[in-house]
Structure formats: structure tokens, C-alpha cells
Structure 1
């Protein structure tokens, strides 16, 4: 995640620090009380981070650009959750240390009081609930299944409620916690209960174009008013076809392959799991729900001189070619025909370059759009010399990369070695969005 600031960051920082500004000045900091006050401060920061993470789960279409796109929102959400978890442990440790000078028994009783002190045990219950749904996301237990992860995150609501019970019964300043908890719980309620009915728009599958054995492109027609999108954005698609072998009513993110302004929504899908395998076999006439659009993939940070646009380098592989297909199709509409773009299509072998023929036809019709195919099984990983041979000024361009994680890591390292600054390398990943 880049350090570049976004307008929404000011709002996030203000919400995060509000409880500190309100609650901390009333704590005693003199004498031996400072350690206890520090423990309380850490507890305030823990709950503030937890509540803010809850607020960011709302995922309201159109708001993610304020924060740098939904991928960045997810990254912030994840770090806030992890920080809250670590701060809770520090809060407990500091409380124990603050009372240790009196006696070991006093220290233990502060952390593990009699069961009659239910407000303290509510805090412990919140911590255990957090442990259940946060720990599996930290890669300690291997790769977590997407739907298992989503179900585990339903525990965030009871964890928040338990944390608030703990805090409200012990805090002298209650209104700030009522305010932030109302916002966090409203965000969770919107995401889990209301958005499936209010935010998702009905579409029907008009056609299923088979691009490869395990890859299709769905052509979707809105049933009513559809969404509007920009090149490089993505949506969440929820199949409503009960006959599917898997994935019924499961939402997953997919990049839009249509040009901006098209009436038809086209989405490229590769079978990588049970749900996507079933979706590859969906039939025309099936109904789906679409929520979005999201993302800021093709937003350029104004890195060129005033009044100009920097040339672009696109590097796409696997199903990660879809945002570039959208961009290429957009060029045929004349929307971005003047911008010089060089696309490298990275595929294992020719039959896996399933959009190549169409991309070549677009390149033949657009003087400022060129396409090169690189087959890794035949030529190995793409190199600096290969890029320079076909696009000599590649290191001076705005760079967009989308594809498998290994490909992205290799290309980022190559580009950085060639002096391309991080703020000119744009990538996007959908891990647990």
C-alpha cells in the first residue's frame, strides 16, 4: 500500500483519534498512576481501531475512491483489525504490570477477577471472539477459504458488542463510544443484512462465450437500471441460479471487461475454485446480482508534467488481462484513442492467450496501441531486454500490472531495478476483498 494520502484518510484519522481526545485527558498521569493510565490509553486505541475497522466494512459503491480504492480500504481494514488485536494484548499486560508493585496476587486478580466482575469478563469474551476470526487470517494456518473467511467475520458483530459492554461499564465518557459503535454496527448491518437487497442490481446472462476450457466471458444485461463504470473497475457478482453445482448466492469480485459506457456488462471468469467452476458452466437466462463498481486501477497520479499524460505500459497475465481488455475496447470507442499504450500479454502458451486475437485487431485499428504476446513456457519469465526491445521507453511510462501473484512480484522487482518509482507502478489484487 502506497503512502500517498487520500481525502478519506483525514476522516479516518479523525475518527481514530476522537476517543483519545475525549477520554484520555481525564486519566491521572502523575506518580505511580501513569502506568495504569497508559494501559487505559492503549485500551482506548484498541477499541477505536476495532470500531474503525468495522466502519470500513460498509463497502458502499462509489465511496472507495475517497480512500484510494477498495483494495486499499481492505488493507487498512486488515491492519486496523490486527492492530486492535495486538493493542488488546498490550492493554491486558500493562494492567497487570500497573498493579504488580502491590503484589502478584493483586496483579492476577486485576486481569482475572472474580466472576462477579462481569464487565471485565465481557472484555475477555470479546478478546476470545476476536482471536477466533482474526487469527486464521494471519497466514498461521495456511490459505484460508474465501467463504470460510467471510463466515468467520460474522463474529465481528458480537465481538464489538462485547467490547462495548466492557468499555461502557468502565468508562467515564460514554457518548463517544455510543457514537462510534453506532457507526460501526450500522456499517456491519448494511454489509451483512441490507446491501444484498438494496445495493445489488439484477442482471441476466445473455450469452456465455467460451474462451478456453476453463475460461468464459459472461455477457450480462440489466433487468432495470444497470450500473455505470470506468475502465479497470470491478464488481461483485452473486449467482442466483439454484441449479449451479456451487456458489449459489455467494458473491465474488470480478473485473469488468467492457468498455466504459457500454450497455452490456462483460466479465471474464476463470475456474479457480468450486464457485468459479460452477459459474463457468452457467447457462444463458440465469439471473445474477451485481454490486459496484469499485476500484481505481487506471487512476493516474498526475506523474507527468502539467497538461500532459504519461505514456502507459500494460502488463497482463492469466485472467488479469481483463482490465486491459476493457481498456482496449474503450479505445475502439474513441474515449482514449490519443494516449500511447503498449500492452504485453503474458501467457504460458499460445492457447492461454484467449483475448489475443481481439487485442491484435484493436491494435491494428489504433495507431497508438500496440500488443506483444510473451509465452513463458517457450521464452521463460519476461526480462528487461525483452521489454526494451519492444518498448524502449518502458521505464519512463506509467505502468499497470495485473495477473498472478508470482508474475506481479517478478515484474515489480524488475521495474524497480530499472528505476521505475513505486508511485508509477499500479497493481491490484482481490485477496479477501
Structure 2
């Protein structure tokens, strides 16, 4: 990705010997800002394509989405600089020339394509700036369609003004390919149709849905997640909408099982999904439980519905046995006993294998988990590789606790789905 940002600047870098006067320097700075801004828009599109190999390069889809967001903001700022610097460069001629640079006649379609691209990009990122209330999922998806339109118009702007430059054609091909994959090909190629065969009530606001593959079994590992799009016409919300959910079944199981907590309109509707209804699954993504050192003992810390990757890890131990698996100690952080989803099942697996231990911590009784609590129940926790999944506040607190007991940051892995 760094090459896509560096190469355009190298190819478009001006010959300083030919630049005379402040206006010439401002004009070239404005041009370079536009080149880099458009390049960043293409990179942001590539990062949003949800291609598994790219996801793994960046350490998981949540991290990739945050990078996508930051690059999108940077692209918007550079495009604004592009416009302003070109206008300031024209001021050396006259104020009228500067205004004409910004707002030429309507026949200058290339310039107006750039303005429309900027307007669409502004609309797309505005809700993410905190200026408005949080938008619902459907509007969020619609805004990303606007961002895709902004990219296509920005590419047209660049190709129109510099059609002889192969760089723009390369960027254009990459941008169109990313949008085409995400919007057209991915729904056809990357999704697999499944049938809902069971809905088990885990708690008053949590269900586990079992899905039978209808188009070939999906290969996954413990700790991965999928995008689920229900096709049940009877649900109250979320029909056809894709949302990320962690897999709770063991790799190799005949059924894909997903634990879903009632946290929004779509997850609320899935609490009553119909048996026999269909759903698309896309994935798998993520590698939360993939260790840096497979021989190192592991420390699992889960809370809320964030327990599901460890449910998959526990079930994997029950299915495969302990061969090739290192010891894992799970700390289950729950508010109170009735919020400890899957606890009985996990404890049963722990009783049957020497490679899994479980310790429960109830916030209502003990307050936030402490380093002393972890060390009391797992003496070698500082030497382990740690994996965390749960609400953002819990993850932030646990990270500090783990660092306090001496676990270096590179041995602490976390996953939280607050990027949508």
C-alpha cells in the first residue's frame, strides 16, 4: 500500500529547476496534493474491499477499518489543499483568475467532476466526524456508495486533465477493481448460502444460531468471524443486511454456530429468526486466536458476547483433543452469573481436558479485574500470550492490567467490533 502512495509522488514530482516564482511552487504543491489525495482515495477503496489476504497484512479487519478511516480523512484534507493551493497560485495573476480556477464555466466538465467528487466525499465522511447522531446501518451503507461515486468522479477528473499519464490509468483500474469486487463480484463469489437449522436461547438476550451450509463447507479457525446477511422475510429488521459475528462452533463442525446478543435492530431481529430460513455467510475473517508462538501457553480474557471466540477455541479442544494445542487459561469477565453466557459448556470442556482452565470474575462482586486476581489464579500469566475480546472499555482496562504484570504489547491481541 505504501508503494501506491509513494509511486504517484515520485512520478509526478516536478523539476525544481523549471519552477520560478512562488506561484509556480504553489501550483506544483497543489498538483502533488491532488495526486496524493487521489492515491489515498484508491488505497482507502482497496482497504474496504474485504480481501482476506489484505486483511491479514494489516493484522485483522478491525485494524484495517481504522486505517481505512484515517486514510479517508487524510485524502479529504489533501483534496482541500489541492483546491486552495491552485487558487492561491492563480492569485499571482489576479483575483478573477483565482476565482476562475475554482469556479470555471460549466463547460469545464473535468473541474466540475472534481467538485462533485469533493461534495460526495464530504457527505460520506460528515457523520463520522461526530457532528451528527450515530446513523443506522442502512444509511451508513448508503454513504459508502456515495464515497464510491466520489472516487469514480475523482478518477475521471484526473484522467480528463492528464489522459496521457499512465499513472492515472493504473490508479483508475485499481479503484474500479476495488469497487467492482466489493459491490458486484464479492456478493456472488465470496458468499455461501446457509440454512438456519436451530436457534438456542443462551440467555434472555442471547441466542446461538446453527447454520447448515448449502454451498460447500466454509473453512475457518477458532477466533474468526463472518458477515451474516439473513434472508428471513419474517424478521423485523436487517433483511439482507450483513453484520459481523464471531463464529462459536469448532473448526470442522458440520454446522456453523454463531452467538448473537441483542445489541441493535438487526441483532434484535435475529433473536427470533425462523427455522428453515436462509442466510448468506461471507468469510471467514480475522485471526484473533492465531498465536505468534504456537508453543507458548495462552491467556484468554473474554467478556460479554466477546466470549464467543473462546467458545470456539474451547470447542476446538473438545473436538480435536489436546494434540498440538498449548494450555489456555480463560478468565471469563461477567457482570453477574446470569450474564456468563456459555459458562457451563466451557467449564464442562475444561473438566475433560488438562489443556484448558476457566476462572470466572464477576464485576458485581469484585469490581474491575486486577493484576493480583490474574496472578492469583494463573501464576505464569506474565509469560503467556494474551488474547482479549469484549466491550471497548473492558479491552482498554485489561490491556493496562496485562501490561502492568509484564506482558509486552506484541503479545497482547484484542478484537472489538466497534468499527461499524
Could you tell me how far 1:335 is from its partner in structure 2?
A: 5.5
CA distance in 2, matches of 1:270, 1:117: 53
Say if 1:278 and 1:336 are closer, same or farther in 2 by CA, change over 3 A. Answer: farther
Say if 1:144 and 1:29 are closer, same or farther in 2 by CA, change over 3 A. Answer: farther
What's the counterpart of residue 60 of structure 1? 51
What stretches of structure 2 of length at least 5 have no aligned partner? none
Could you tell me how far 1:65 is from its partner in structure 2?
A: 1.7
Kept in 1: contact 2:202–2:208 (CA 8 A) = yes
What's the counterpart of residue 23 of structure 1? 12
Number of residue pairs matched by the alignment: 417
Deviations 1:195-238 (A, max 9, x none): 22332111111111110011011111111312110110000111
Deviations 1:354-393 (A, max 9, x none): 2111111111111121101111112111112111111122
2:127 aligns with one of 136, 145, 154: 136
Correspondence list, 1:144-163, <5 A? 144-163=135-154
Could you tell me how far 1:346 is from its partner in structure 2?
A: 0.8
CA distance in 2, matches of 1:148, 1:175: 36
Could you tell me how far 1:60 is from its partner in structure 2?
A: 3.0
CA distance in 2, matches of 1:387, 1:142: 39
2:350 aligns with one of 346, 349, 363: 363
CA distance in 1, matches of 2:397, 2:239: 36
Correspondence list, 1:23-422, <5 A? 23-25=12-14, 30-32=19-21, 33-61=24-52, 63-171=54-162, 173-302=164-293, 309-332=295-318, 333-334=320-321, 338-422=325-409
What's the counterpart of residue 5 of structure 1? none
CA RMSD, 1 decimal: 1.9
Could you tell me how far 1:183 is from its partner in structure 2?
A: 2.1
Kept in 1: contact 2:55–2:64 (CA 8 A) = yes
CA distance in 1, matches of 2:146, 2:241: 18
SS of structure 2 residue aligned to 1:98: helix
CA distance in 2, matches of 1:43, 1:419: 46
Say if 1:123 and 1:362 are closer, same or farther in 2 by CA, change over 3 A. Answer: same
The normalised TM-score by structure 1 is 0.91
Higher alpha-carbon deviation: 187-196 or 372-381: 187-196
CA distance in 1, matches of 2:322, 2:282: 25
Kept in 2: contact 1:62–1:293 (CA 8 A) = no
Say if 1:191 and 1:28 are closer, same or farther in 2 by CA, change over 3 A. Answer: farther
Kept in 2: contact 1:27–1:37 (CA 8 A) = no
Say if 1:415 and 1:40 are closer, same or farther in 2 by CA, change over 3 A. Answer: same
CA distance in 1, matches of 2:150, 2:53: 28
Say if 1:416 and 1:144 are closer, same or farther in 2 by CA, change over 3 A. Answer: farther
What's the counterpart of residue 8 of structure 1? none
The normalised TM-score by structure 2 is 0.94
Higher alpha-carbon deviation: 288-297 or 193-202: 193-202
Kept in 2: contact 1:228–1:260 (CA 8 A) = yes
Could you tell me how far 1:117 is from its partner in structure 2?
A: 2.8
CA distance in 1, matches of 2:162, 2:16: 11
Higher alpha-carbon deviation: 407-416 or 245-254: 407-416
CA distance in 1, matches of 2:105, 2:207: 61
Kept in 2: contact 1:330–1:336 (CA 8 A) = no
CA distance in 2, matches of 1:52, 1:136: 21
Could you tell me how far 1:323 is from its partner in structure 2?
A: 0.3
Say if 1:119 and 1:309 are closer, same or farther in 2 by CA, change over 3 A. Answer: same
Say if 1:121 and 1:338 are closer, same or farther in 2 by CA, change over 3 A. Answer: closer
